[in-house]
Structure 1
Amino acid sequence: MMGSLVEIRPGRRIWVEVGGASTNAHGHSSDTVAILVHGSCAISEQYAAQVPALHKEGLDTVAFDYLGCGRSEKPDDFAAYAAEELYQDLVAVFQSYSKGYTGVVLLGHSYGTYLVNRLASEQPERVAGVVLIGAGYPLPGAFRLRWIFHLPLFVLGWLQPYLTDQFIKLAFHPDTFKTNPQLIELERGRSNENPPFMFRAFHLQALSLFRDADQYTDWLRSIRAPALITAGDKDFLTPLDGMGKKVASYLKDARTAEIPLGGHQVHEEQPTVLNEKIIGFLHAVLGRR
């Protein structure tokens, strides 16, 4: 993977990594590219185990960090993190990095699934498949703790370690704390590195991506591409039996898979099993092998 800061839109510089196995006549290593979209206030490095698996199957990949996240620039500007702005960044990534490919696979995690589904609904001719990990749906009360982000920044900064710990408890399978404590500490460190002004601005504007649940449902119903919806069996944030299957019920062609011993961060906790599900799905919908 080769990464760099890219001015994806005027004044918005984000970290983008592209990768593939070889090069064809179009300058690509594949006729299909997978665009990987991470979750809220996260980082594209969380897809470290999925990228090589996709390359092995002959797909090129594009992964990026949202503005304010990871290695992207972090402007202290509330409006810069509006949901519509983040979505337009994804559109710009799609337009810039899908040129020359006959098919695009969109892969999203958590909040990234909202962005992916909107894009898939607007690009029915280009999107060949959709993979949703920990798919979200705007159920009543899903964002009930947003009030905390109205607190002054210095208070949020003081509370950040506590908020991170609460997220970690919900995001990982209970067994992961014993079997992979290094991963827990890695995610704790990543979360605590987020600037408070960024995660406050993001969370206070996250739901503005759509007017209401009905609009989001309309997007789902208009998606033509086949979809795979996965979640860990202990995903306490976006459970498959709650949000995931509700999303699937509105899609024209959806299949679901629950991953044992996985939580909300199942792509990091159980990458081998999850990758097998993703690759099997891609073989079916893209006709590979």
Structure 2
Amino acid sequence: MNLSDFPDPTLIPVNGIELEVFEAGRENAGNPVVLCHGWPGHASVWRYQVPALVAAGYHVIVPNQRGYGNSSRPTDVTAYDIEHLSGDLVALLDHYGYDKAIFVGHDWGASVVWGLTLLHPNRVDKVINLSLPYQERGEVPWIELMEAVLGGDFYFVHFNRQPGVADAVFDENAFQFLRNLYRKNVPPRPPQPGMEFIDLARAEAPLGEPVMSDDELAVLVSAFETSGFTGGVNWYRNLDRNWHLLADVAPIIHQPALMIYADRDMVQRSETLADFVPNVDVVSLDCGHWIQQEKPTELNEAILNWLQRQGAVIVE
């Protein structure tokens, strides 16, 4: 799909805010798939998946989630917790008149889909998540644990302990940060002191190879020049709040699930995934973190083959 063919957005009121939503395949009404981007992402990162899913018989709904693009950007940090983020998706289903849908998430979008499935299991038909596996809720809040193990410069911790610092650097260097981040085949190097994403935003020369064309990158940069980075970073600032919100929620996901890992991703695989998601299948692709853009054909095949095995609609 050329970006010029990506659906035009609509602003939809949900859950007390507005979401910018890109929709395709309305002729396939009754077979909804909701695609949820990660950080720092945008609905357009799913551009290669949308036409394949429409051709397979699905009504594809792709929101810019709160804090992104032209969607609402509340100022209250707690407005980005898992209750609000999952509530947005439930309200989006209500808008379209769907009881449930297949949800596909990447990175932070995967985290939201896992949380949505725990909090609103009756609204989720099947789960397909990329890169980020189910995160077990342990005895210690997540940021507190990361700080003890990985230190204060680890970006999750930094975002929480030094609010506003990283956001300002990203805002000042939007093009440079996104150009340097969306890369593949980046040569390995030993960990550096300091906060890695701040260093990345300030680096004059990118490493590896781009995963986007110049035109595709321009769309992403323009979106963040409009929205700023604070809304997306605020998702990180609710991680411990989410840990508390999920305290009394049954931790097992019973829906059929597909977990897609990238072999060259920095995100660690889960050794306990099947304990918490017993009906999970696992696929690995030979690429880095930006799976949708690095291996679009292979990803589409993995998703559609799995859906067909699950008895979901597939148009021949």
TM-score (norm 2): 0.72
Would the alpha carbon gap of residues 68 and 280 (structure 1) be closer, same or farther in structure 2, given more than 3 Å must change? same
Q: Which runs of 5+ in 2 are unaligned?
A: 1-6, 137-141, 187-206
Instruction: Describe the superposition over 1:166-196 as per-residue Cα deviations: whole angstroms up to 9, x where unpaired.
Output: 7876764316933646379458736853524
Q: Is the 8 A contact 2:184 2:210 kept in 1?
A: no
1:225 counterpart SS class: coil
Corresponding residue of 2:128: 131
Tell me whether 77-86 or 141-150 shows the greater mean CA deviation: 141-150
Would the alpha carbon gap of residues 191 and 214 (structure 1) be closer, same or farther in structure 2, given more than 3 Å must change? farther
1:70 counterpart SS class: coil
Name the amino acid aligned to 1:235. Answer: D
How much has 1:225 moved relative to structure 2?
A: 1.8
Q: How does 1:114-153 map to 2 (within 5 A)?
A: 114-136=111-133, 137=135, 140-141=145-146, 144-149=154-159, 150-151=161-162, 153=164
How much has 1:215 moved relative to structure 2?
A: 6.4
Distance 1:159 1:122 in 2: 32
Instruction: Describe the superposition over 1:12-65 as per-residue Cα deviations: whole angstroms up to 9, x where unpaired.
Output: 11112222162xxxxxx2432111111134211111111111111101111101
Corresponding residue of 1:235: 265
Q: How does 1:198-237 map to 2 (within 5 A)?
A: 198-211=231-244, 218-219=250-251, 221=252, 223-236=253-266
Distance 1:87 1:73 in 2: 15
Q: Is the 8 A contact 2:105 2:130 kept in 1?
A: yes
TM-score (norm 1): 0.78
Q: Which runs of 5+ in 1 are unaligned?
A: 23-28
Q: Is the 8 A contact 1:165 1:188 kept in 2?
A: no
Corresponding residue of 2:199: none
Determine if the alignment matches structure 1 residue 19 to structure 2 residue 24.
yes
Instruction: Describe the superposition over 1:68-92 as per-residue Cα deviations: whole angstroms up to 9, x where unpaired.
Output: 2012133433333333222221221
Corresponding residue of 1:38: 37
Q: Is the 8 A contact 1:35 1:94 kept in 2?
A: no
Determine if the alignment matches structure 1 residue 69 to structure 2 residue 68.
yes
Distance 1:67 1:119 in 2: 15
Corresponding residue of 2:295: 270
1:210 counterpart SS class: helix
Q: Is the 8 A contact 1:2 1:19 kept in 2?
A: no
How much has 1:257 moved relative to structure 2?
A: 0.7
Q: Is the 8 A contact 2:105 2:129 kept in 1?
A: yes
CA RMSD of aligned residues (A): 3.4
Pairing partner for 1:258 from 268, 278, 284 = 284
